[in-house]
Structure 1
Amino acid sequence: MRFHADLHMHSKYSRACSRDSDLEHLTWWARRKGVTLMGTGDFTHPAWFKQLRENLVPAEAGLFRLREDLDRKIVRTLPSSVASARVRFMLSAEISTVYRRGGRTRKIHHLVYMPGFEAAEAFNLRLGQAGDLGSDGRPVVGLDSRDLLEITLDSGEGAHLVPAHVWTPWFGVFGSKSGFDTVEECYGDLSDHIFALETGLSSDPAMNRRVSELDRYRMVSYSDAHSPPRIGRETTMFDTDLDYFAVLRALRTGTGYEGTVEFFPEEGRYHLDGHRKCGVRLEPEETRKLGGICPVCGKRLTVGVLSRVEDLADRPDGVQSGEDAPFQSLVPLPEVVGEILDVGPTSKKVAGEMDRLVAALGSELRILQDVPVSDLEARLPSLGEAVGRLRRGEVITDPGYDGEYGVVRLFEPGELERASAANTPSLFEDPAPGAGSPDADEADTDRADADEAHANEADAKGIDTEGVDTEGVDTARTGKL
């Protein structure tokens, strides 16, 4: 079967994460988004591990589903278009390793997967000797990356590790702040056990394929969601049995691996170089001319993902390799609807419109990828045009840098208003009966965690900021379970 997998997210026990990041809400949003296979996140945290054991039951080999009584409660709150979708969980965790190597402090994040609770428990016992697992859902441990990989492999057949958001400046294996130039440098004699790399929000497979050394790795993309509404903003596609070991085989061999759904990398927080406090955003060649120094304050710039890719690249932009897999860049549907309605993506107006669209047309990913544009146009004026442009890659980008999300737009400033004034039929027919938006509106939530103080704290404590999404933390609309 063909399905979307999102195998990197966090629970409510991780810092800067929504209190709604529990199994019920994760399952509710997975159905709404169209994600079949989910990571549990944070299985290393004692309280979350206990909840996982109590509320998940075995399903297919190495996978779990929500307890039947809890699942029935969720189904009652969803429209029939998505209520019956299967959702399965794979035991997952993100680990932050902080250590000295080669005269430098290294801070590297890793995704770890286990085929069952016994293997996860064995892993936790050993990991607990290197750090306090109860302090954060994503623990910071004083282990070399190579040693973390060894502990993972020793935990049982099928246990495996995937380097997380590999280009992120602060905590990626290739990151400009504390990373390495090759996988071999990081994982040493065990590097042959690495077979997949997570691209992260600020890069995509095309960027990664500029580095020929990465041809042997499968590129995976996941949401790194810190709140349930952010599930599925990036996914990996599989066409396999719904089975832990089938997914593992697909990642090892490529058979059944169907590519990824990506952010436009320009929307990620670290695509370009810069210094956000000074309002300085630079292309890689500009950074090199300045010697990596901010022209305003004289401090070191944060060198972003595109620069690091160019540092390591041995192929020009646009050249394909023999190992290329398909990928599609999308904008999350609430952002598309928010642009059309001229409100923030977490506003009540967008929430109401999203409810109607999902009830009528199915999951958010299905709407973005598969529903005919004529059907979209009949539900919300200009949505068909917007999604058509998105599918063709006709977008306008304002790239992110130094912890600041980029912006991807589908319409030029004033274009929607001019089209409306001209009464363009293809864009602004009257909505179908029942379509429209509630009168109430709500301001978009601030992204306050993106400021430099947070980034500095993250650097000191080993906290990643690539996936933090405070516009969804505690304030995002969730299902009424």
Structure 2
Amino acid sequence: HKGVYGIWTRRLADKLGRDALHIKALELGLSADTDMADMIGETRNYTFLSNSDAHSADNIGREYNLLRMADKNFQEFRYCLENIQGRRVLANYGMDPLMGKYHRSYCTRCSTITDDEAPIFSCSHCGNEKMVMGVYDRIMEIRDQQEAHHPLGRPPYKYRVPLKDLPGVGPKLKQKLLAFFFDEINVLEKASIDDITRVAGENVASQIARMRVGRLPINPGGGGKYGRVKKEIDG
């Protein structure tokens, strides 16, 4: 992973000095969330963003932000980042970090994605010490707070999973949902579960309901492999 807290530094101030004061926002990345980032004390000074990294058309908008703005222009967006003039980020909508390709540490020898207590520096399965460190493991290594301490006004982080990554949602069903609800955000955020059930069936509707409250079971990703929503959902 290539985030600023990856191999580059443990603290932005260590590398940037007083220039770190000019930073207004941090982008969380697919493998982290607000709770993880707020275990590093200096992040309390920054607005968090959850932005899609659009490697393909299907992935455009898989993460997004709810902003309070008076108009759609860059000045208003800057106010949001600086949390001034009554403008602010109201909510971050991002993939559950477990879905991220670099959430947990990965063994380059036996291809195991660790589920041991973080941070992990060697593989408990084969003893290999050459690991691709996960974002979660890195944060556990460099954090200066045992748990997240959110500054006043920190917006909620709401876990979202793209429709294409939900078990049972193939291309045809996805198009059916989009035809009925107009766009994917409407399906994930606004559509009633009853309406989703009528269009897509009880299983898909149940997954979306669980996703909205952060209770969708996920096998974590690591080493460049995305996490996956578990196919079996217990009651």
Q: What is the TM-score of this pair, normalised by structure 2? A: 0.88
What do the CA deviations read for 1:66-112 (whole angstroms, capped 9, x no partner)?
xxxxxxxxxxxxxxxxxxxxxxxxxxxxxxxxxxxxxxxxxxxxxxx
In structure 2, relative to structure 1, the CA distance for the partners of 1:410 and 1:283 (3 Å cut) is closer
Q: Does 1:211 align with 2:32?
A: no
Shift of 1:303: 1.6
**Residues 233 and 317 of structure 1: CA distance in aligned 2, closer, same or farther (over 3 Å):** same
Match of 1:356 in 2: 176
> Structure 2: any 5+ residue segments left out of the alignment?
none
Q: 1:371 aligns with which of 183, 191, 198?
A: 191
Task: Tell me: CA distance 1:411–1:280, structure 2 relative to 1, closer, same or farther (3 Å).
Answer: closer
Could you tell me which of 172, 182, 188 is aligned with 2:3?
172
Query: For 1:189, which of 3, 18, 43 is the aligned residue?
Result: 18
Partner in structure 1 of residue 139 of structure 2? 309
Q: What is the TM-score when the length of structure 1 is the normalising length?
A: 0.45
1:279 matches 2:99: no
Q: Label 1:228 to 1:199 Cα distance change in 2 as closer, same or farther (>3 A).
A: same
Please give the root-mean-square deviation of Cα atoms over the aligned residues, in Å: 2.2
The alpha-carbon deviation at position 247 of structure 1 amounts to 0.5
Closer, same or farther: CA 318–279 of 1 in aligned 2, 3 Å: same
Per-residue CA deviation, residues 356-411 of structure 1 (Å, 9 max, x unaligned), is: 21121121011101111111111111232221111122211211112121112364
What amino acid is the match of 1:324? Answer: R
Alignment of 1:347-426 (within 5 A): 350-382=170-202, 383-409=204-230, 411-412=232-233
- How many Å apart are 1:237 and its aligned residue? 1.9
Q: Deviations over 1:419-460 (max 9, x none)?
A: xxxxxxxxxxxxxxxxxxxxxxxxxxxxxxxxxxxxxxxxxx
Partners of 1:284 and 1:313 lie apart in 2 by: 18
Question: Does the aligned pair in 1 maintain the 2:196–2:205 contact within 8 Å?
Answer: yes
The answer to which structure, 1 or 2, has the higher relative contact order (CA under 8 A, 6+ apart) is 2
Residue 70 (structure 2) pairs with residue 231 (structure 1): no
Do structure 1's residue 329 and structure 2's residue 159 form an aligned pair? yes
Classify the secondary structure of the residue corresponding to 2:80.
helix
Q: 1:219 offset after TM fit, Å?
A: 0.8
Q: How many residues align?
A: 230
Amino acid at match of 1:380: A
Alignment of 1:26-41 (within 5 A): none
Pairwise mapping of residues 128-143 of structure 1 onto structure 2 (< 5 A)? none
Aligned to 1:340, the other structure's residue is in SS state coil
Q: CA deviation at 1:286?
A: 6.2
d(CA) in 2 for partners of 1:411 and 1:282? 21
Aligned equivalents of 1:356, 1:294: Cα separation in 2: 44
Secondary structure of 1:233's counterpart equals coil
Percent of aligned pairs sharing the same letter: 25
Give the equivalent residue in structure 2 for 1:261: 93
Residue 374 and residue 245 in structure 1: after superposition, are their counterparts in 2 closer, same or farther (change >3 A)? same
Q: Which runs of 5+ in 1 are unaligned?
A: 1-167, 342-349, 416-481
3-state secondary structure, aligned to 2:154: coil
The one-letter amino acid paired with 1:173 is V
Q: Is the aligned partner of 1:340 residue 2:172?
A: no
- CA shift in 2, pair 1:242/1:410, >3 Å: farther
Q: Secondary structure at the match of 1:262?
A: strand
Whole-angstrom CA distance in 2 between matches of 1:212 and 1:286: 19
Partners of 1:215 and 1:410 in 2: how far apart? 37
